[in-house]
Amino acid sequence: MITHADIGKLLSVRAAGPTVLSLYLRVPKDPATLPGLPDRAGELAARAGRGGTDDPDTAAAQEEDWRIARRMLEVQARQWLGGTIGLFACAEPRLAETIVLPCALTDRAVFATRPHVRPLLLARQRPAGYDMTAAWPERRRSGRVPVPPQEALTAIGLQPCLAAVNQRAARLLVVPESGMIPGYVCQRCAMLSSTGTDCPDWGAAALAVPDLIEEMVVTALEDGAEVRAANDPPGGIAARLRFPLTADGETALPAATA
């Protein structure tokens, strides 16, 4: 059981740079294959990118995160046989947490300035035993969230939904179960952007983030919006609005492709 408190506790962790490792991992059923688990996790972490920076101090901190995570897997993985876990590791501020998920999700590793919680939110709304890695028709039935495509108070696609979240207008945000979209968050005004060019503070204050959808989810939740994950949301991502977007926000740019 994943609680709001669990997620809130993770979201309260903040690092100065992209030095928080979040690892979502299916643990094999067969204890004989456990020794291969850290290597599989290490490959995921290596593919996670470096959070948009080549800074050597950041790289060293990420290496330390990985050592913490590897040690946790080596010591504790036996208690998670056949399950899926979320593992969160950071050297500074110190973090070494695991959450057992009630369902099977796709493996994922992310380095960011705070724990990556999107998969936890997805797991919360799925029935126990749900398998995201199962066949497409199976998921399609359980993953559909209808959003009428042409309603006035509806945003369809990445740019309209970014505008909706930035204007605090989202009442319901429907995000895809999988996939990540790299983007930027302004460290002064907290504006989210896929391009990093639409805020006067950019250049000085733009922070690259590995997953814009994660940022949209967290911002929307902070604003009291409902967030749902769906297998195939209209336009890749969609929102129902509390109020119409302002003129700037209504500039309909091409929908998300991720």
Minimum distance of Zn ion from residue 52's CB (angstroms): 17
236 vs 119: CA distance, rounded Å: 17
Least Cβ distance, residue 185 to Zn ion (angstroms): 9
- The residues facing 143 across adjacent strands are none
CB 147 within 8 A of CB 156: yes
Among 63, 74, 92, 201, binds Zn ion (CB under 5 A): 201
Supply the minimum distance, in Å, between the C-beta of residue 170 and Zn ion.
19
Question: Shortest distance, CB of residue 51 to Zn ion, whole angstroms?
Answer: 20
Backbone angles phi, psi at 37, to 5 degrees: -65, -45
The span of 78-86, 94-102, 199-207, 243-251 binding Zn ion (CB under 5 A) equals 199-207
**Token reading at 174:** 């429907």
Cβ proximity to Zn ion: between 197 and 251 the closer is 197
Task: Answer whether the bond into residue 244 is a cis peptide, omega within 30°.
Answer: no
Q: Map the footprint of Zn ion across residues 82-121, applying CB under 5 A.
A: none
Residue 216 exposed, middle or buried by CB count within 10 Å (0-12, 13-18, 19+): buried
The token pair at 16 is: 């100065």
- Minimum Å gap between C-beta 220 and Zn ion is 18
Contact track, Zn ion, 157-196, x by CB under 5 A: -----------------------------x-xx-x-----
The two tokens of residue 14 are 């903040």
Q: How far apart are CA 22 and CA 88, in angstroms?
A: 5
Q: If binding means CB under 5 A, how many residues of this protein chain bind Zn ion?
A: 6
Stretch that binds Zn ion, among 90-98, 129-137, 201-209, 226-234 (CB under 5 A): 201-209
Q: Supply the minimum distance, in Å, between the C-beta of residue 64 and Zn ion.
A: 31
Nearest CB to Zn ion, comparing residues 199 and 239: 199
Minimum CB distance to Zn ion smaller for 63 or for 248: 248
Binding segment for Zn ion among 106-114, 175-183, 198-206, 227-235 (CB under 5 A)?
198-206
What does the block give as tokens for 166? 């930035």
Six-digit token string for 179: 């996939």
Between 12 and 187, name the residue whose CB sits nearer to Zn ion: 187
Residues 6+ positions from 223 with CB-CB distance below 8 Å: 165, 168, 170
Residue 192 CB, shortest distance to Zn ion, in Å, is 10
CB of 106 or CB of 194, closer to Zn ion: 194
Cα-based angle 22, 225, 96 (whole degrees, multiple of 5) = 20
Can you tell me which of 20, 37, 90, 199 binds Zn ion, judged by CB under 5 A? Answer: 199
Neighbours of 181 (CB within 10 A): 21
Q: Can you give the binding site for Zn ion, defined by CB under 5 A?
A: 186, 188-189, 191, 199, 201
